[in-house]
Amino acid sequence: MKEMSRISDAEWEVMKVLWTKSPMSASEVIEALAGVNDWSPKTIRTLLTRLVQKEVITLDSNSKPYVYSPLVTEDETTRAETESFLKRLYGSVALKPMLVNFLKYEKLSKEDIDELKSILDERKE
């Protein structure tokens, strides 16, 4: 599989809208984001264009109005972003150094610890 292009925080907001409901016209995306931020319609159209160029969404020009749909799932994108983050921060996709660092300094509730133990126990099997 081709490596997924990184998406910016702003592009991520557009993707969340498209993952919620697709296909959507540019006007529908603009309307959905109206209460979330103060971006102009031109800014949102630019973000849509960038996402098409990055091949994470598609534009169906056969429909009227044109509609956009995701080419990747939220899970695929989250995984790619996580791997990219780990590579930048730790030089590899090794999860253990990040988890160790996080667990050393983060205050966790008993429920958090129990949930983490449960997840780790499931992974053993």
pLDDT digits (tens, 9 = 90+) for 16-69: 999 999 999 999 999 999 888 889 999 999 999 999 999 999 999 888 899 999
- Examine the domain organization and report whether 98 and 115 are in the same domain: yes
- Examine the domain organization and report whether 46 and 102 are in the same domain: no
Total structural domains in the chain? Answer: 2
- Examine the domain organization and report whether 79 and 100 are in the same domain: no
- Examine the domain organization and report whether 47 and 105 are in the same domain: no
Kindly list the strands in the beta sheet with 67-70, ordered across the sheet, starting from the edge strand earlier in the chain.
24-25, 67-70, 57-60
pTM over 0.75: no
Q: How far is CA 67 from CA 28, 82, 89, 120, 121, in A?
A: 9, 29, 37, 42, 44
- Examine the domain organization and report whether 101 and 80 are in the same domain: no
- Examine the domain organization and report whether 5 and 16 are in the same domain: yes
Domain range for 110: 94-125
- Examine the domain organization and report whether 81 and 106 are in the same domain: no
